[in-house]
Amino acid sequence: MAGGGAEEVARQALAHADALYNFARWLARDPAEAEDLVQEAYSRALGAARNFEPGTNLKAWLMRILRNAFIDRRRRSQREVYVDDLDADGEVAEPVPGELQLDQIRALVAEDVSAAVRALTEPFRTVVLLDLEGMTEAEVASVLGCATGTVKSRLSRARAVLRDRLAAYGMG
């Protein structure tokens, strides 16, 4: 990178720390592991700063590094990190809206939306999360190393699954 190399990448990359952590948190489902992933992503990015092309999307580059770090960790650990957080045997009684405060209702809806996103397969969840980060389909394709058409297809199918799962809220 002309004019500063790793120092310039590091300076600019700090602006994306929150987005990287949020993405890592969704991938890892563990705050401590998410922090480790972000640290590893920054370490890898600084080590590869000479490969960053000025004028390209630094956030997309960092997200790709973070995703690759996550995949590498998952492969090394030889364990499944996607565990369904929902109790298969438990049924939660429907709350009566008149008995709950508005904040409690919002929290329940937010948890249902969060659970619906967590229940998506990794490829679907990843495109949804990157889309929520405000990345364009081309940027998401760059992060994932696939064609833009693949991103469009995955995003469309993921949204359809979410609409079905959240139909009770009139989100479809």
The four Cα atoms 35, 38, 39, 44 give a dihedral, to 10 degrees, of 160
In a domain, 90, yes or no: no
Distance CA 5, CA 111 (A): 42
- Domain count across the chain: 2
- Residue 106 pLDDT level (bands cut at 50, 70, 90): low
Predicted model pTM: 0.56
Domain with 109, as residue range(s), is 95-172
- Tell me what pLDDT residue 161 has: 92
CA diameter of the chain: 61
**80, 64, 54: which is closest to 126 by C-alpha?**
64
Average pLDDT of the chain to the nearest whole number:
80
Among residues 165, 157, 57, which one has the least CA distance to residue 109?
165
Kindly state the percentage of the chain with pLDDT values over 70: 76
| Residue pLDDT, tens place only, 80-105 | 434 343 344 444 444 444 444 555 55
Residues 137 and 114 placed together within one structural domain of the fold: yes
